[in-house]
């Protein structure tokens, strides 16, 4: 008999402080308009003029997502985030900047990946995911072999994946899992390639807090 239990959560809390009234209103009015479909879908159908689609998994407050959308108005930016306060914050950015190229999934990113067709994304960002630092919780980390396989499936050939973390052990384990996949090619040629933020990186308030145990590390890969 198949295991009917849901997969382990890869994220912590769903909601923290009370959401401001203005952002709460956007949850009711704007989110339904830009929420991705709850059934399998083709990203290109969500924005006919988009030259390609990018995905950010765990967008936090939406700063990076909104900045990338503003810099690339011809790209569809899909964001996945289960944290209610983060979704509300991202909606504020979308509303204030009038970003018509953002679509959101307010839930588990793995559910979203399962609804995407093969080779449908040109870029994926996974920036500072929940590190689950305690050893007994490492099984809850997002980057596991099955998730890497799904990421490879939805990335088009030549597509790019970026992972960043400020937890040394998570960086090491994630790198092991990415390198174990022959379809992902690590682009680093020297130490500065992972020690320095990439030229197109957008620093967020979370990153500036330096809550991890090491300086931020950036791992970029290309889908073979």
Q: What residues are annotated to the active site?
A: 130
Q: Please name the residue that has the structure tokens 């991890």.
A: 212
Residues 6 or more apart whose CB falls under 8 angstroms from that of 126 comprise: 56, 57, 58, 142, 143, 161, 162, 163, 164
Q: How far apart are the first and last CA of the chain?
A: 36
List, in sequence order, every beta strand (DSSP E) within the chain: 52-57, 75-80, 102-105, 121-127, 155-165, 184-186, 217-223
Cα angle at 69 between 196 and 178, to 5 degrees?
45
- Beta carbons of 128 and 166 less than 8 angstroms apart: yes
Distance CA 173, CA 144 (A): 9
- What is the number of other CB atoms lying within 10 angstroms of the CB of residue 50? 19
């Amino acid at each position: 008999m198949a295991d009917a239990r849901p997969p382990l959560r890869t994220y912590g809390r769903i909601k923290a402080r009370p959401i401001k009234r203005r952002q709460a209103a956007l949850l009711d009015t704007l989110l339904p308009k830009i929420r991705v479909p709850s059934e399998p879908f083709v990203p290109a159908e969500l924005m006919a003029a988009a030259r390609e689609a990018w995905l950010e998994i765990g967008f936090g407050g939406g700063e990076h997502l909104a900045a990338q959308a503003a810099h690339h108005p011809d790209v569809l930016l899909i964001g996945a985030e289960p944290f209610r306060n983060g979704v509300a914050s991202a909606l504020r950015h979308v509303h204030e900047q009038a970003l018509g190229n953002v679509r959101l999934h307010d839930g588990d990113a793995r559910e979203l990946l399962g609804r995407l067709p093969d080779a449908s994304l040109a870029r994926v960002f996974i920036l500072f995911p929940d590190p689950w630092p305690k050893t007994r919780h490492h099984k809850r980390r997002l980057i596991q072999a099955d998730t890497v396989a799904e990421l490879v499936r939805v990335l088009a050939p030549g597509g790019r994946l970026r992972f960043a973390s400020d937890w040394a052990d998570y960086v090491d384990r994630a790198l092991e899992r990415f390198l174990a996949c022959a379809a992902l090619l690590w682009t680093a040629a020297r130490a500065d390639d992972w020690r320095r933020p990439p030229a197109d990186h957008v620093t967020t308030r979370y990153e500036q807090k330096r809550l991890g145990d090491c300086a931020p590390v950036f791992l970029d890969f290309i889908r073979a």
